Structure 1
Amino acid sequence: MRRFLSALWAKLSNRPLALCDSGDVDGITSAALFLRKYSNGVVVLAAPSEVNRSWWIKRLFWTFVADLPCPGKALIRADHHRTNKPCAKVEFYDPEAPCSALMAMKAFGLEGDPVANSLVKVAIETDTASVTSDEAEKLDLAVRFASYNEKIYIVRSLAVNGLGSLNNVKIRDLVNRGYRAKKLMLEIASRIPIREVINIYSPVNLGISYRQLTIELQHRGAKMVNILLRLDRRTFRYYCGADRSSPYDCTQVAARLGGGGHKYASGAQYKSPFFSPGKGIEVFINTLKTYLNTDRLEVLELTGNSVRAMTY
């Protein structure tokens, strides 16, 4: 409701209105670049799955859309996902670009702005899973575990103060929360046997970043990591990560589950039939069997402190 009211207020007050991805640093920095260009603008954050199913998002005309499927009515769109089809009046779209924030910076003519360049740098690091700077790690940790209101706070702070926002007390607290979750993620990763392809099912949310877990397992030697998280009785979230030197293509799995992304990092969110909630797991297993061309699939089930191997 807050997002709808924010968008409605922007329309009634004739303010520029942006729709950006809520899930990662790329979307958050793209939103910050929008506010750096339009200080009176209004930002709405959403996940790709929300764009596809929300009637009011599709009804509005957006000044700017970044790092998301186009809702249908947009003036400017900045993106680099092969699975997101262009549709805005002005497209800054390059599937070879390392992040959407780079395209947003070009869209707003901010290439000469040091703050914009520093934000794009960390967006490139996080979106290519090649985090090397302290700033990129901290911003990534802050964003991953922030609530919607906290993400909007981060966007506004970045727009004015750039990476200096990391010295903000409130954002430092978010970073520390992220470090605690990362520690738990590393403990879980240490219990997972490394295979070329690792398939994981988590029936409950363990309070970690599952995207971060895919990256960590890749660093430890996996060539492809598939994770299914059960969000509620019927809703499931799929995460995929693949090594760039491998033949695996995450979009081939994510697209079959109704999602998309990049060859080496994709995701999807879907619901199982109302009367058959268990079908959500079957869809995941059967999709992987088809893609991997196998009749037997090992799936590791994460439950609290235990990892149990199941064969389907």
Structure 2
Amino acid sequence: MRRFLSALWAKLSNRPLALCDSGDVDGITSAALFLRKYSNGIVVLAAPSEVNRSWWIKRLSWTFVADLPCPGKVLIRADHHRTNKPCAKVEFYDPEAPCSALMAMKALGLENDTVANGLVKVAIETDTANITSKEAENLDLAVRFASYPEKIYIVRNLAINGLQALSNAKIRNLVERGYRAKKLMLEIADKIPIKEIINIYSPIDLGISYRQLTIELQHRGAKMVNVLLRLSRRTFRYYCGADKNSPYDCTQVATKLGGGGHKYASGAQYKSPLLNPGWGVEAFINVLKAYLNIDRLEVLELSRNSIRVITY
């Protein structure tokens, strides 16, 4: 409701309206670039799955969309996902670009803006899973665990202050929260044996970044990591990461589960039928078996205190 009312207010007050990905630094920085260009603009954040199923997102006309599937009525869109089909009147779309924020900077005419370039630099680091700067690490940790109002707060501060926003006391607290979650993620990663392909099922949310877990396991030697998180009785979230020098293609799995993304990083969110809540796990297992062309699949089931191996 908060997002719908924000979008409605933008329409009633004739202000520029943007829709950007809520899930990562790339989407957040793209939103900040929009507000840097249009200080009177209003930003709505959403996940790709929400764009695909939300009636009001599809009904509205958007000034700018970034890092998301095209909802239909869009003036300008900036994106780099192969699985997102262009549809805007003006497309800044390049599937070879390292992040959507780079395309957003071009779309908004901010190439000569020093602050904008700083934001795009960290977006490139985070979206290519090659974080080398403290600024990129801190912003990534702040965004991963922020609530919706906290993400909007980050967007507005980045738009005005650029990376200097990381010195803001409230954002520093979000970074510290992220570091605590990262510590827990590393403890879980230490318990997982490294193989070429690692498949994980988490029946409860352990309070970590599961995308961060896929990246960590890849850094330790895995070539493909598939993670299924149960968000609720019927709702599941899939994360996939694959090494760029491997033959694996995450989109081949993610698209079968209703999602998309990149060859080496994709995801999906989907629901089980009302009368068969366990179908979500079955779908994950069956799609992976078909993609990998195997009859038996080994899955690590995570709990708060242990990891057990289940063969399907």
Any gaps of 5 or more consecutive residues in structure 2? none
Matches within 5 A, 1:244-259: 244-259=244-259
TM-score (norm 1): 1.00
Matched, 1:91 2:88: no
RMSD: 0.3
Corresponding position of 2:226? 226
Distance apart, 1:214 and its partner CA:
0.1
Corresponding position of 1:290? 290
Q: Deviations over 1:29-85 (max 9, x none)?
A: 000000000000000000000000000000000000000000000000000000000
Distance apart, 1:238 and its partner CA:
0.1
Q: Are the aligned partners of 1:260 and 1:268 in contact in 2 as well (CA < 8 Å)? A: yes
Distance apart, 1:199 and its partner CA:
0.2
Corresponding position of 2:217? 217
Corresponding position of 1:62? 62
Q: Which SS does the other structure have where 2:15 is aligned? A: coil
Q: Deviations over 1:111-164 (max 9, x none)?
A: 110000000000000000000000000000000000000000000000000000
Corresponding position of 2:101? 101
Q: Deviations over 1:221-244 (max 9, x none)?
A: 000000000000000000000000
Matched, 1:157 2:154: no
Distance in 1 separating the partners of 2:294 and 2:25:
36
Matches within 5 A, 1:1-312: 1-312=1-312
Distance in 1 separating the partners of 2:95 and 2:5:
33
Distance in 1 separating the partners of 2:108 and 2:238:
33
Q: Which SS does the other structure have where 2:217 is aligned? A: helix
Q: Which SS does the other structure have where 2:155 is aligned? A: helix
Distance in 1 separating the partners of 2:204 and 2:214:
17
Distance in 1 separating the partners of 2:182 and 2:305:
15
Q: How many residues align?
A: 312
Q: Are the aligned partners of 1:188 and 1:305 in contact in 2 as well (CA < 8 Å)? A: no
Q: Which AA in structure 2 matches 1:222?
A: A
Distance in 2 separating the partners of 1:155 and 1:278:
37
Distance apart, 1:305 and its partner CA:
1.8
Q: Deviations over 1:236-290 (max 9, x none)?
A: 0000000000000000000000000000000000001111111110000000000
Identify which range, 272-281 or 75-84, moves more after superposition.
272-281
Q: Which SS does the other structure have where 2:85 is aligned? A: coil
Distance in 2 separating the partners of 1:110 and 1:63:
16
Q: Which AA in structure 1 matches 2:186?
A: L
Q: Which SS does the other structure have where 2:195 is aligned? A: coil
TM-score (norm 2): 1.00
Distance in 1 separating the partners of 2:95 and 2:101:
13
Q: Which SS does the other structure have where 1:268 is aligned? A: strand
Identical-residue share of aligned pairs (%)? 85
Distance in 1 separating the partners of 2:108 and 2:278:
46
Structure 1 runs of 4+ with >3 Å offset: none
Distance in 2 separating the partners of 1:39 and 1:192:
46
Q: Which SS does the other structure have where 2:87 is aligned? A: coil
Q: Which AA in structure 1 matches 2:267?
A: G
Q: Which AA in structure 1 matches 2:204?
A: V
Distance in 2 separating the partners of 1:273 and 1:107:
41
Q: Which AA in structure 2 matches 1:113?
A: D
Q: Are the aligned partners of 1:16 and 1:40 in contact in 2 as well (CA < 8 Å)? A: yes
Q: Which AA in structure 1 matches 2:43?
A: V
